Amino acid sequence: MKILIIEDDQRVAELIKRGLDEQEFDAENAYDGLSGKKLALQREYDLVITDIVLPKIDGIELCKEIKQTKPNIPIIMLTALGTTDDKVEGFDAGADDYLVKPFEMRELLARIKVLLKRNSRTAQQVGFLLKYDDLEMNLHTKEVRRGQAEINLTPKEFKLLAFMLQNPERVLSRVEIAEKVWDTHFDTGTNFIDVYINYLRKKIDKDFDKKLIHTKSGMGFILKAGL
């Protein structure tokens, strides 16, 4: 498995590379956003690890540009920032996971293995149509419609809605959503899952009389045509 590490702190980059090499990954370093972008687009990698604060091109913009060309490559963002807004910005850019510095190498390895395993599964799920009530999602074309209306979603909103469509009429806890959609443990100190649920509500339910996304107090969220 080939992994690209984009980190301007050479000491940190070398530590990560050494840890990955020890686990028999084929790791390569880039020390600024522009070099990282060129490598990511010119070569084939199974996963990208990038810092947010980078010279030449910052990690948020870098993530967007990589995902535009290679939407299926998993990206883990590393940052010293850990607020809800920071996480939302990273996920909106297309990041698949978010790790706050300082972190333990074994935690990074665990996140990498989950993403690689998930990516090998989802790569086979093409051409599927998910439908509930008048809401429809095509996993192949990435199109989402409710009735005759086309709905534009960010990558993370799409992934969250896909998970809900795959589990209709079942209460999904924040812990389960964090693990299945974000491949991370739910941090009770942040409310980024609630933020994304609200994003979906504005796009999926706001202009329709029948509401599909509901909150079950103290338990989580459910996709259901009325309660």
Beta-ladder partners of 213: 223
Amino acid type, 150: E
Q: Let me know whether 103 and 135 are in one domain.
A: no
Q: Where residue 81 falls among pLDDT bands split at 50, 70, 90? A: confident
What pLDDT is recorded for position 91? 85
pLDDT at 176 over 60: yes
What pLDDT is recorded for position 61? 94
What pLDDT is recorded for position 203? 95
Alpha helices, DSSP H, located in 33-132: 33-42, 59-69, 84-92, 105-122
Cα–Cα dist 6/78, whole Å: 10
pTM of the model: 0.60
Contact indicator for 37, 66 with CB cutoff of 8 Å:
yes
Q: Where residue 185 falls among pLDDT bands split at 50, 70, 90? A: low
Q: Let me know whether 172 and 101 are in one domain.
A: no
Tell me the three state secondary structure of residue 30. strand
Contact indicator for 49, 17 with CB cutoff of 8 Å:
no
Backbone phi and psi for residue 159, each to the nearest 5 degrees, phi listed first: -65, -40
Q: Let me know whether 103 and 141 are in one domain.
A: no
Among 90, 122, 154, the domain-final residue is 122
Q: Let me know whether 147 and 163 are in one domain.
A: yes
DSSP 106-126: HHHHHHHHHHHHHHHHHTT--
Query: Which structural domain range is residue 165 located in?
Result: 129-223
Q: How many domains does the chain contain in total?
A: 2
Share of the chain above pLDDT 90, in %: 51
Indicate which CATH number applies to the domain containing 192.
1.10.10.10
